[in-house]
Amino acid sequence: MNFLNKQTIKSLPQAFDVLSVSENKEVDNAIVHIGVGGFHRSHQAFALAQLISQDPVKYAKWRITGVGVMPQDKELIANFREQDYLYTLRMVNADGEEKLMVIDAIQDFLHLDCELNKIIKKIASEHTKIVSLTITEGGYNYDFEKDAFKIENENIIHDLNNKQHPKTVFGLLARALEYRMSNTNSSIVLLSCDNIIGNGEILRKSLLSFLEGYDRTLRDWVKTNVFFPNCMVDRITPVPKKNDVEDLTNRFQVKDNCLVVSEDYFQWVIEKGKYLSEFPPLQLVGVEFVDKVLYYEKMKLGILNGGHTLVGLLGYALGYNTIHDAVLDPMISSVYNAYVHEEVIPVLSPISGVDYHEYYEKVKTRFANAMINDSTDRIISFSSDKFPKFILPIYQSQCELHKPKIRYVSIIVAAWWYYLRQNQIENGMSHVQDSLKGEWSIIFDDEDSSALKFIEYNPVFGDMGKNELFLSFYLEAINHFKAGTFKKYLNNLHLTR
């Protein structure tokens, strides 16, 4: 058994599709990516690897310098270096067919804690055209209810007062862009690839707000010289499990500690802009460039991401551990169907050439892909960051209609209440992964008042707790949870459809 690297790929079985592997490390690559998690490797790096393989000389510069910010990234970086920055992407479809691809899109991988100066110089280099990010919804430190950057965050305060030792993405970007302004004075693209409506605009607002207290001269330079296109990304990428690595090793005698597993579906929609003249020609590998990304974002966040949250929470409530098992449950499937067709699609704007009903059916098929083996726990994790982007906008849009339909939104929220309550009872929320875990723990200390206190938490739920129609539906579902009759309640909804 050998680790995957540039020597062992020469003897890989034919099952592996080895994209062009570069031997030239001297090329000044043009992309820096912050947050090299599984999704980035299955999505953006995958697309760039395909582009490079079309012409390894012409497109060599579109390789990536990865940047790790989180402590756990250090182990991943060590694994990447041991494997010569190669990794396997295992793509599987709903029929169980797999495709194994060796990806060579990452040229270097640095960590904020120990290689700060290298990162700053790389971002500041005139050869660097794009800094892309997948830092999760919470990484933008943005209060979506107030439409404001959370400047009072302790790590943000640290970065404003300790410019030489940044802890956050914003402190890092400020240092690097300051250096770029002083040395090359050249424009650059900052490309958010996270699941946020208007992700480029949110990144722009967050960075400019940070720079207001950091350096106003730099802020003014950024306004003129940095582009923040919006984009929409889509590929289901669960966290690889230990047995995924073991399975690959047992079948092919190659160990890959950087393995990524994903579905075979891929979508990337990017907003057009004047920066495109120095952008990789990703249209050659299926990326769409459009005038307005917003409608695609709302479609995906409402139907897919919101649907994931629904299926994950109801799946947990009915005892399912995986998304593919949960979505095949007739009651969950019926609620998901009703939510999409009655509450989501009616508030979406038309997109030329896109049928929302067909898109939903495709999403549902993707959820049922047992080969992905995605867990309900993963989907539920960090719901406090997801709800304001995936669920709240649907509720708010419905409330603008003459006869709003919000029953199924209320069921989703009640199911989240149930998930948190059960975890508080069973393990004191020790298993909960959520940015507001501390706040929820306090609220759920008193079960009798928890349902109302939960829905009154404005940063996540807005004015839901003041809406009488919503409260009637929400408390109805809560009461069925408390009485142990929630399954019967869902079944009755299912039967009446």
CB 240 within 8 A of CB 38: yes
For the packed helices 330-338 and 306-317, what is the interaxial angle rounded to 10 degrees? 150
The residue range of the domain holding 368 is 294-495
- Determine the average pLDDT of the residues in 211-235: 97
CA 94 – CA 365 distance, rounded (Å):
7
Q: Say whether both 111 and 221 belong to one domain.
A: yes
| pTM listed for this prediction | 0.89
Per-residue pLDDT tens digits for 117-128: 999 999 999 999
Q: Say whether both 264 and 352 belong to one domain.
A: no
Q: Say whether both 316 and 251 belong to one domain.
A: no
Q: Say whether both 232 and 333 belong to one domain.
A: no
Per-residue pLDDT tens digits for 405-462: 999 999 999 999 999 999 999 999 999 999 999 999 999 999 889 999 999 999 899 9
- Cβ-in-10-Å burial (0-12, 13-18, 19+) of 441 comes to middle
DSSP state letter for 88: E
Among 264, 290, 316, where does a domain finish? 290
Among 261, 290, 319, where does a domain finish? 290
pLDDT at 283 over 70: yes
CA 259 – CA 142 distance, rounded (Å):
32
pLDDT band at 63 (very low <50, low <70, confident <90, very high): very high
Q: Say whether both 285 and 417 belong to one domain.
A: no
- Determine the average pLDDT of the residues in 105-115: 96
Q: Say whether both 351 and 231 belong to one domain.
A: no
Q: How many domains does the chain have?
A: 2
Per-residue pLDDT tens digits for 24-57: 667 899 999 999 999 999 999 999 999 999 999 8
The CA-CA-CA angle for residues 122, 128, 134, to 5°, reads 80
44 or 244, higher pLDDT: 44
Q: What is the pLDDT of residue 203?
A: 98
Among 290, 314, 330, where does a domain finish? 290
pLDDT at 21 over 80: no
The CA-CA-CA angle for residues 69, 72, 76, to 5°, reads 95
Q: Which amino acid is at 195?
A: N
Beta strands, E only, 2-51: 2-3, 16-18, 31-34
Which CATH number fits the domain that encloses residue 123?
3.40.50.720
